Amino acid sequence: QMNANDCHDPPKYWTIHGLWPDRAEDCNRTWHFNVTEIKDLLSDMRHYWPDVLHSSLNRTQFWKHEWDKHGTCAATLEVLNSQRKYFGKAIELYQHVDLNGCLLKAGIKPSSSYYKMTAIKEALTRFYGVTPKIQCLPPEEGEKAQTIGQIEFCFTKELQLVSCTALEDGSSPVQAHLKLGTSELSVCNDTLPTYYPSEVQ
């Protein structure tokens, strides 16, 4: 995966994938991404929202995709109604949630031994008071463990944290476009041992 995608030195911390409205019918395909509108955010963007798959380009491809597909829909909310607000608010929410700090405090860190998915879930729910949606890569052939791949937090339109359990009918926007090679992320299986890798092999 890394070789095929020119991925170098992937970060050793959780980064942002995107900020997605649950329903995406109000998008404006003519509202084009313009990186100059977020130039004051660029150092934060490169740190918290890096494009690890297209590192040799000007690194805006991922952000453009997220804006075109999700940002133009999210912009129906006044608090997100410009590129500057959309990207700035996503970074603010990321810092507020502080997933990296929370997992460390709960003693959950990248490791070569396995975790129980229920233990990870319980720790997050205890910490946040809401249930996030944890997604995994299913076990590869001949393996027994799933690999933790993405942790999705849900917010109300007022951007307050809310449990994601109501969205678990498969209608989540992530299912539509997130494919990692041939393996697809899906909601983790509570009974499988879970691998939280320290290095991408």
Q: Which residues are catalytic?
A: 17, 66, 70
Q: Encoding tokens for residue 150?
A: 């993405």
**CB-facing half-sphere around the CA of 199: CA atoms within 13 A:** 2
Parallel, antiparallel or unpaired: strands 193-195 and 146-152: parallel
Cα–Cα distance for residue pair 71/125, rounded to 1 Å: 27
> Contact, 43 vs 117, CB < 8 A?
no
Tokens of 86: 């959309």
